[in-house]
Amino acid sequence: MAEGFLERLKSEVLVCDGAMGTMLQARGLTGGACPELWNKNHPERVQEVHRAYFAAGCNMVETNTFGGNRLKLKGYGLEKDVADLNYLGARLAREVCPPGCFVCGSVGPTGHFLEPLGDVSREEIYDVFKEQILALAEGGADVICIETMMDTEEAAIAVRVAKENTDLPVIATMTFELDRNGYRTMMGIDPVTAARRLTEAGADVIGCNCVNGPEIALGVLQEMKPVTDRYLMAQPNAGLPQLIKGETVFELGPEVYAQKYPVLLEVRPHIVGGCCGTTPEHLAFVVKLVKGINS
């Protein structure tokens, strides 16, 4: 099944899902709670989100395991549950995944900085990702999706872990903001440097996610494309969240998001999707746009 995935990218654009976090919040996940714990305590609500994205026409969904690494789960006293929560996350998606669609095991950043800036060594980060990625593979993920990375070194280690310990295809995306120097991650890394490093590390698909809207995603992919021979992916978010009367509201509603999306398709990415603030409604529009290209 995994091989089928890369094969498909040669001839068609696939659509990945949109947000999980903000969808779970809409189903009662509160600020201080651990999203990954819902794989155990509220599996039906997690599956409901997956189902909604498949129903909207998405070809692949990401597991609810973004923060499922030991270093992050420790913050909730759940560092012993890494294997369980990731395995369950992959299983939940697997169970509702229609034939011909794919389950992507989501792997987010650890939230720690590598030595000498921070307090974790490369070996430790390797182990941390290994624990998570093995559980995702065991739970039935078709693809490993390393995402929202800001440090190329951390991302490259995660890619290596996936490549050395599984035979699944690997996606690696990073998040950039547009500032006065151009597109940069918070660590100051530009798309060209990121693309080179992720390519070298062995990722099969590279790109950006959680960038502020489709135009930014377009800009990032345009810079990455000339320096890589890998498939490209983009998952822009629905703009910046604002707190209005106690409710988190995202700038781009489904219609506006859809209006802005076509420019991104001009670079001919191989996988597109959404991120924070997007919903199955947003993705239904993307599916429609992509159908136009695929036919």
Partner 1 sequence: MGSFEEIARALIVGNHVRVRELTEIALKEGTDPQEIIYKGLIPGINVVGEKFRNNEYYVPQVLLAARAMYAGMDLVRPLIAKLGARYLGRVVIGTAQGDLHDIGKNLVAMMLEGTGFEVINLGSDVSPERFTEEARDKKAQIVGISALMTTTMPGMARTVEALKAAGIRDQVKVMIGGAPVTQLYADEIGADGYARDATAAVAKAKELLSLV
Which range, of 42-50, 167-175, 239-247, 259-267, touches partner 1 by CB under 8 A? Answer: 239-247
Q: Which is nearer to ligand B12, 31 or 99 (CB)?
A: 31
Q: Which is nearer to partner 1, 100 or 246 (CB)?
A: 246
Q: Which is nearer to ligand B12, 240 or 263 (CB)?
A: 240
- Binding of partner 1 by 253 (CB under 8 A): no
- Binding of partner 1 by 181 (CB under 8 A): yes
- Binding of ligand B12 by 111 (CB under 6 A): yes
- Binding of partner 1 by 10 (CB under 8 A): no
Whole-angstrom distance, CA of residue 25 vs CA of residue 178: 27
Q: Looking at 77, 99, 243, 295, which residue binds partner 1 (CB under 8 A)?
A: 243
CB of 23 to partner 1, least distance (A): 13
Whole-angstrom distance, CA of residue 121 vs CA of residue 2: 31
Beta bridge partners of 120: 114
Closest CA to 169 of 197, 208, 206, 200: 206
Q: How many residues bind ligand B12 (CB under 6 A)?
A: 9
Residue with the closest Cβ to ligand B12? 186
- Binding of ligand B12 by 108 (CB under 6 A): yes
- Binding of partner 1 by 25 (CB under 8 A): yes
- Binding of ligand B12 by 241 (CB under 6 A): yes
Cβ-Cβ contacts under 8 Å for 58 (sequence gap 6 or more):
15, 16, 17, 101, 273, 283, 287
Question: Which two three-digit tokens encode residue 66?
Answer: 């973004």
Q: Which is nearer to partner 1, 41 or 242 (CB)?
A: 242
CB of 9 to ligand B12, least distance (A): 25
- Binding of ligand B12 by 22 (CB under 6 A): no
Which range, of 7-15, 79-87, 89-97, 105-113, touches ligand B12 by CB under 6 A? Answer: 105-113
Which range, of 11-19, 186-194, 209-217, 225-233, touches partner 1 by CB under 8 A? Answer: 186-194
- Binding of ligand B12 by 115 (CB under 6 A): no
Cβ-Cβ contacts under 8 Å for 29 (sequence gap 6 or more):
21, 35, 38
Cβ-Cβ contacts under 8 Å for 237 (sequence gap 6 or more):
19, 209, 210, 211, 212, 213, 250, 274, 275, 276, 277, 278
- Binding of ligand B12 by 177 (CB under 6 A): yes
Beta bridge partners of 171: 145, 205
Binding site for ligand B12 (CB under 6 A): 108-109, 111, 148, 150, 177, 186, 240-241
* Residues near partner 1 (CB under 8 A): 25, 31-32, 75, 111, 113, 117-118, 150, 179-181, 184-188, 241-243, 246, 248
